[in-house]
Each structure stands twice: as structure tokens, then as C-alpha cells.
Homo-oligomer: A and B are copies of this chain.
């Protein structure tokens, strides 16, 4: 019976989650069985199981057919990172959109043939008047598809790449490193030549594992810290 505002299976999940968070169940422990829960909550096995499934989806418990549901240890090495290049508090200016011959670095990153040209988009991100970051994006240039500047200018890297195909056919990979800025970066950001910059490299990859986009973003450390969280509480 369900006389609350929330479905019964949700109540079951909440109760169990609290038990785990309070330490009544610890990693390795077996949760109450589906039958037990069905009895306790005066419901059917289907509904009881649905409650357990929620915790399973949350990565808190795991199931072993024929044995039961086990409490897992938290995954502290798996982080969720939100990468917002288009934050509202910043404004950005596009300084260059052009078709170029790729440098050897870009050629290597995108696995390009020798004669393949790429689109280069440069952008500078400002906090008020102060430049805090700048990035370079490279996209494969298909002769057949004319370059629509407006569409590209205000979109983020993945969206631009997605516009050239199915938006679901791609994934993004990111690497994070520290570098000294190249001369034009130092000049654009107005920082010292020896200032360490946080650099993110992004690869846009289609369903055939071809790199169709590559981007590099340099951030000054006062403004460009990346944040990520881990644990159960964040989902």
C-alpha cells in the first residue's frame, strides 16, 4: 500500500540508502532479500526489486544472481568533471576563423593525411577586460560542405562537430596538462613567458573512431582551475 506522496518503490530505495549511509550496512554486506522487502512493505516482489534496482543504478549496491544484493565500496577514483567553456560570467571573442594547412602537432593529433586542410578557430575568453584563457579549435575541412561562419562562431567544439553529422555518433576525449604558453598565447593572455598554464586538449571522435575535431585551451591558473567531484553524494 502506498499512502505517501511518493511511489512505494522510491520509499524502499530511500530507506535502504539511509541504512547504508548511516552505516547499518557496510561494503560487502548483503542487503535484505527481495522476498523480505516485499513482506516488510506489504507489496510484491516486483516493487521491492524496483527499490533495490535504484540503488544498483546509483552504483551503491551490486547483485549476484542466486545470492543477493551486496553493498559496494565507493568509487573514489572515478570523478565527474564539468567543463564549462561558455560560462555566463565570462565573455569570449573570436579572433580568427580560417582554413589552414595543419601544423605537425595538429596533423598528429587528428591523424590527418598530408594534403588534408583544417579549419582553425581561435577564441579568447575574457573576465571583464582581462583575458583569462584562449583556445584553438581545429576541424576537418570537407570541401563539399561550405563553412558557415555564424553557425560555428557561437557554438562549442562538440556542437560544431556534431553539426557535421549525427550528434550521437561522437564522443569527446580530454587530456589535461600544464605548459608554458607559446609566444602568441603569452601575448594574447598578457602573462609572463614563464607562467605555467593549465592546458586542456580535446579530441572529437566520430563513431568510426576518426578524430574530426581537436582543440587546445590555455587557462591562467587564477581563473582556470578545473573542478571535479567523486563519491556517492554526487549524481
Give residues in A with beta carbon < 8 Å to B.
20-23, 26-27, 57, 60, 73-74, 76-85, 156-159, 162, 166-180, 194, 196-199, 207, 219, 221, 224-234
Q: Are A230 and B174 in contact (CB under 8 A)?
A: yes
Q: Are B76 and A82 in contact (CB under 8 A)?
A: no
- A151–chain B nearest beta-carbon distance, Å: 16
Separation of A229 and B202 alpha carbons in the complex (Å): 9
Separation of A27 and B163 alpha carbons in the complex (Å): 12
Q: Are B194 and A194 in contact (CB under 8 A)?
A: yes
Q: Are B78 and A168 in contact (CB under 8 A)?
A: no
Q: Are A172 and B20 in contact (CB under 8 A)?
A: no
Please name all residues of chain B whose beta carbon is closer than 8 Å to the beta carbon of A175 when the two chains form the complex: 225-228
Please list 15 pairs of residues, one from A and one from B, whose beta carbons are closer than 8 Å in the complex, sorted by A's number.
Answer: A21-B207, A57-B57, A76-B172, A77-B83, A77-B84, A79-B81, A81-B81, A81-B228, A158-B230, A176-B225, A176-B227, A177-B224, A177-B225, A178-B219, A178-B221
Q: Are A158 and B194 in contact (CB under 8 A)?
A: no
Separation of A78 and B158 alpha carbons in the complex (Å): 12
Separation of A125 and B156 alpha carbons in the complex (Å): 37
- A59–chain B nearest beta-carbon distance, Å: 11
Separation of A229 and B176 alpha carbons in the complex (Å): 11
- The chain B residue with its CB closest to the CB of A21 is B168
Q: Are A198 and B226 in contact (CB under 8 A)?
A: no
Separation of A83 and B78 alpha carbons in the complex (Å): 6
- The chain B residue with its CB closest to the CB of A220 is B178
Q: Are B22 and A176 in contact (CB under 8 A)?
A: no
Please name all residues of chain B whose beta carbon is closer than 8 Å to the beta carbon of A74 when the two chains form the complex: 158, 162, 167-168, 170
Please name all residues of chain B whose beta carbon is closer than 8 Å to the beta carbon of A199 when the two chains form the complex: 178
- A42–chain B nearest beta-carbon distance, Å: 21
Separation of A73 and B166 alpha carbons in the complex (Å): 11
Q: Are A167 and B79 in contact (CB under 8 A)?
A: no
Separation of A15 and B53 alpha carbons in the complex (Å): 22
